Chains A and B, each alone.
Chain A
Amino acid sequence: MQHYSGFGLLKHAMTHHENWQRVWRNPKPKDSYDVIIIGGGGHGLATAYYLAKEFGITNVAVIEKGYLGGGNTARNTTIVRSNYLWDESAHLYEHSMKLWEGLSQDLNYNVMFSQRGVLNLGHSLQDMRDINRRVNANRLNAIDGEVLDAKQVQEIVPHMDCSANRRYPVMGASWQPRGGVARHDAVAWGFARGADALGVDLLQQCAVEGFEIEDGTVTGVKTNLHGTIKAGKVGCVVAGNSGVVAGMAGFKLPLESHPLQALVSEPIKPILDTVVMSNYVHGYVSQSDKGDLVIGAGIDSYNGYGQRGSYPTIEHTVSAILELFPAFSRVRMNRQWGGIVDTCPDACPIMSKTPVENLFFNCGWGTGGFKATPGSGHVFAASLAKGEMHPLAAPFSIDRFHSGALIDEHGAAGVAH
């Protein structure tokens, strides 16, 4: 793998940048792999990368029906934080946060991780009680967090209307300084490049059509392009399509797939240097390095796989942002899109063994999977390598929907992605 550096940039400038090495190969698939990962998004590529790097399993293929990082990885709003309420999820997201902090160095790829802080606003007394409780829980788990009042929030975000005159006045916020944003595409590309360099085969434009299952054990994956490819273990990381792939293996999941929309404005001068989110008015906004405001809110209420949603949802999203930032009323919106999120009843992911032996699922990240990309990949890789779920992943088993040990993160997951 060609090492990226400032010096390299200078060197290639001499030859008009025409001699850069391809970032990853386009390999011919082998007949069999130790591990096959279905889904070439951020989580799948991170899983493959950590399998090869940390656990020495390099005979790995990632099968992607479209192009790498072209699903929800390309469609999310790039927010990273770890201020979840319950121990199980707080530990998982904090594990991810620690990996984020060294990720660009680790991958030798600039993922543009910017710890610009994340504000979760409170607009009612109950909001503030919840915020106090969550920040206290975070601090007990050694996760940074502060409770701010309206005046302190105003100092951090001068352009937001924190006056008492609003219909939903800002009463305060939780503040996680280590939270922030990262460049979503770079995360997928960085993991893909790293995995490829370690020998992982990335098979694009190849759709999975079924599984080869013998005596309740998965032995291979049927594809449209390369026939059946044998596999020792299979990890399925396909987000919105998890229910469809689980159906191919003959079981159901406690998931429903919904469209989740986001939109960006035309690029404007720097106005917002942090991430603002509000569960109450239900919207969130940050500003990208390019200058566009990145805006999102809730899912469309109906099930859907169409990667688009309805106009009323966009209207609700924008009205929430204008409640916070009346000054944005003249900003024109540039693009709008939808992704398909696999929502779980308790707003927590599923990382689990399945009724089929050697078939593992990593899904249900719903509206907030991006922040977990490195952590999810790391613990899922550890679980695949060992054949047993990693301690951080164990509480997120499918069994919890039968045992009742749910991890209710609706409050902390909220609107915030």
Chain B
Amino acid sequence: MFLIRCPYCEEDRGEEEFHASGEGHIIRPENPEACSDEEWGNYLFFRKNPRGIHHELWHHTIGCRKFFYITRDTQSYEIKETYKVGQKPAVSSDEVAKK
């Protein structure tokens, strides 16, 4: 069971208040009409799905109902950080690999 710090509520709350929404920082193509089938398919469906550091979008469903990001290790499940939409992650897979 995760104890997740919502960056908006600034409180550690139980996992059941939250819902994971998959990979974060996916940018919707600015002009979908101009996309090729390949670009549009890649945007909709293709994911990094890494074994290790993953930046993912979560929703504080039974709380402030805001979306935010978590940097989490998908192997150990350790939560490295949480941060607001619009912010950049402090922890990346390259930095973890260096250590």
Contacts and interface: CB of A to CB of B under 8 A. Distances in A.
Nearest to A304: B74
B88 to A, nearest CB: 20
B22 A304 contact: no
Most central of B51, B56, B75, B76 by chain A CB within 10 Å = B51
Nearest to A246: B49
B15 to A, nearest CB: 6
Contacts of A124: none
B2 A310 contact: yes
A71 to B, nearest CB: 14
A302 interface: yes
Contacts of A345: 44-45
B41 A306 contact: no
Contacts of B16: 312
Contacts of A404: 37, 41
A243 B29 CA distance: 23
A304 B47 contact: no
Given A301-B19, A302-B20, A401 B41 contact: yes
A241 B46 contact: no
Interface in B50-89: 50-51, 54, 56, 72, 74-77
Contact of A310 (B15, B23, B47): B15
Contacts of B2: 310
Given A254-B47, A255-B49, A256-B22, A306 B56 contact: no
Scoring B40, B41, B56 by chain A CB atoms within 10 A of each residue's CB, the highest score goes to B41
A304 B47 CA distance: 14
Interface residues of A, number: 24
A386 interface: no
A255 B47 CA distance: 6
Contact of A306 (B19, B42, B76): B76
A310 B47 CA distance: 23
Contacts of B45: 254, 345, 401
A402 B46 CA distance: 10
Contacts of B20: 301-303
Binding site secondary structure of chain B: mixed
Contacts of B97: none
B38 interface: yes
A251 B19 CA distance: 28
Nearest to A257: B49
B48 interface: yes
A311 B49 contact: no
Given A241-B51, A252-B48, A401-B41, A305 B15 contact: no
Given A310-B2, A311-B1, A305 B47 contact: no
A142 interface: no
Nearest to A344: B45
Contacts of B46: 252-254, 401
A241 B77 CA distance: 16
Interface in B1-19: 1-2, 15-16, 19
Contacts of B19: 301
B47 A302 contact: no
A320 to B, nearest CB: 16
A401 B49 contact: no
Nearest to A301: B20
B69 to A, nearest CB: 13
Interface centre among B2, B40, B47 (most CB of A within 10 A): B47
A15 interface: no
A241 B23 CA distance: 17
Contacts of A243: 47-51
A241 B2 CA distance: 23
Nearest to A342: B49
Interface of B: 1-2, 15-16, 19-20, 22-23, 37-38, 40-42, 44-51, 54, 56, 72, 74-77
27 contacts: A243-B49, A243-B50, A243-B51, A253-B47, A254-B41, A255-B49, A256-B23, A256-B47, A257-B49, A257-B74, A303-B20, A303-B23, A304-B77, A305-B51, A305-B75, A306-B77, A312-B15, A345-B45, A401-B41, A401-B44, A401-B46, A402-B37, A402-B40, A402-B41, A403-B37, A403-B41, A404-B41
Given A303-B20, A303-B56, 18 more contacts: A243-B49, A244-B49, A244-B50, A253-B47, A254-B45, A256-B23, A256-B49, A257-B74, A301-B19, A303-B23, A304-B74, A304-B77, A310-B2, A310-B15, A312-B16, A345-B45, A402-B42, A404-B37
